[in-house]
């Protein structure tokens, strides 16, 4: 099985999938292979041994380990993609995952900060140093644009258009989009970029020098490092359940919609394919309910 997995991973890379996406596929599928070895009690498992029953037992084991349904569905999608390619290449006759349905997801409102919390967040970094300026620029840009963690990590210097007040990002599937950026975020970003060379070290490569945001060792940020940075700051001003770069993406969308932004415009800025994906942000906050009441009730 490992040979087929490796070929599939190479196939994903050749199709231009992001490193983060490829890593997720690889992790999911290798977890399945590891399960198969225990399931069949063998050191190696042949492709012909994999059937729908084995896949169902794998999913059952994930439920027993209390994996979230979202994670289980992702792993199921990874396996479905693998076997679709194997069927297409005539390595196997049928896809054992094809008839297995996704687990019904729990509907949960996304975690987000209030406007007051967002303001307090931006007051936290110590901007007397280049590191503090960098941290503030990261927080401001995530909140101002709503871009994903991976999109921020891949941001290069020539992707920022100060005159046009926007940034160019490459989203899922390497799809490019232009996202508006607020004046405060751009001002902070410009201040940081004027000093970012101070972060260069002997480890800094030419690719790193193109990156907008550099870690303390002069390299592009790793995903987990950026998540830890944001989590550390958010934890100081909020007790939201999720504290990550995605929290600021949720906050961006929620605040825009609360202030009357058009849902379709927010969809384009977030880079969503379907409007239904953006609709999770139309949750009714107390502030939004109060505003609607005041605007609509004749005796408000």
Q: Measure Cα distances from 46 to 33, 35, 52, 167 in Å.
A: 10, 13, 15, 48
Q: Which of 134, 255, 267, 272 is catalytic?
A: 272
Catalytically annotated residue among 220, 243, 246, 250 = 246
CB 151 within 8 A of CB 170: yes
From 120, 172, 209, 231, the catalytic residue: 172
Residue 109 CA to its chain's centroid (Å): 17
Is 247 within 8 Å of 112 (Cβ atoms)? Answer: yes
User: Is 20 noted as a catalytic residue in this protein?
Assistant: no
> Which residue do the tokens 């550390």 mark?
232
Active site residue 56: no
Let me know if 249 is a catalytic residue: yes
Phi, psi dihedrals of residue 214, rounded to the nearest 5°: -115, 140
249, 250, 255, 267: the catalytic one is 249
Q: Cα dist. 103→57, 63, 255 in Å?
A: 14, 10, 31
In 259-285, which ranges are continuous DSSP H helix? 263-270, 275-278
Question: DSSP assignment, residue 106?
Answer: P
3-class state of residue 18 by DSSP: coil
Q: Which of the residues 4, 25, 143, 281 is marked catalytic?
A: 281
Q: Which residues contact 147 (CB under 8 A, 6 or more apart)?
A: 141, 155, 167, 169, 179, 249
* Rounded Cα distance, 141 and 195, in Å: 17
Catalytic residue selected from 148, 196, 250, 255 = 148
For residue 54 the two structure tokens come to: 């084995």
172 is catalytic: yes
For 212, residues 6+ apart whose C-beta sits below 8 A from its C-beta are 155, 156, 157, 159, 160, 189, 193, 196
- Hey, which residues are catalytic here? 148, 172, 246, 249, 272, 281
């Amino acid at each position: 099985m490992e040979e087929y997995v490796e070929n599939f991973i190479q196939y994903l890379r050749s199709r231009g999938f992001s490193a983060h996406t490829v890593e997720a596929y690889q992790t999911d599928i290798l977890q399945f292979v590891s399960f198969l070895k225990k399931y069949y009690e063998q050191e190696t498992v042949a492709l012909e041994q994999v059937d729908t029953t084995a896949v169902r037992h794998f999913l059952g084991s994930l439920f027993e380990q209390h994996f979230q349904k979202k994670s289980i569905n992702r792993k199921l999608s990874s396996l479905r993609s693998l076997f679709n390619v194997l069927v297409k290449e005539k390595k196997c006759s049928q896809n054992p995952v094809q008839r297995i349905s996704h687990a019904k997801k729990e509907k949960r409102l996304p975690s987000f900060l209030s406007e007051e919390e967002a303001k307090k967040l931006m007051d936290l970094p110590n901007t007397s140093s280049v590191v503090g300026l960098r941290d503030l620029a990261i927080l401001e840009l995530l909140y101002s644009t709503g871009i994903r963690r991976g999109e921020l990590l891949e941001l290069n210097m020539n992707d920022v258009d100060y005159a046009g007040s926007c940034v160019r990002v490459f989203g899922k599937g390497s799809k490019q989009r232009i996202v508006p950026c607020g004046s405060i975020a751009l001002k902070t970003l410009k201040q940081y970029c004027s000093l970012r060379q101070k972060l260069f070290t002997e480890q800094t490569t030419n690719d790193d020098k193109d990156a907008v945001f550099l870690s303390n060792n002069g390299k592009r940020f790793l995903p987990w490092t950026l998540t830890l940075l944001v989590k550390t700051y958010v934890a100081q001003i909020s007790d939201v359940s999720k504290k990550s770069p995605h929290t600021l993406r949720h906050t961006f969308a929620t605040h825009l919609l609360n202030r009357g932004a058009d849902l379709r415009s927010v969809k384009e800025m977030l880079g969503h394919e379907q409007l239904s994906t953006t609709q999770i942000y139309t949750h009714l906050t107390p502030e939004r309910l109060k505003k609607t009441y005041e605007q609509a009730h004749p005796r408000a």
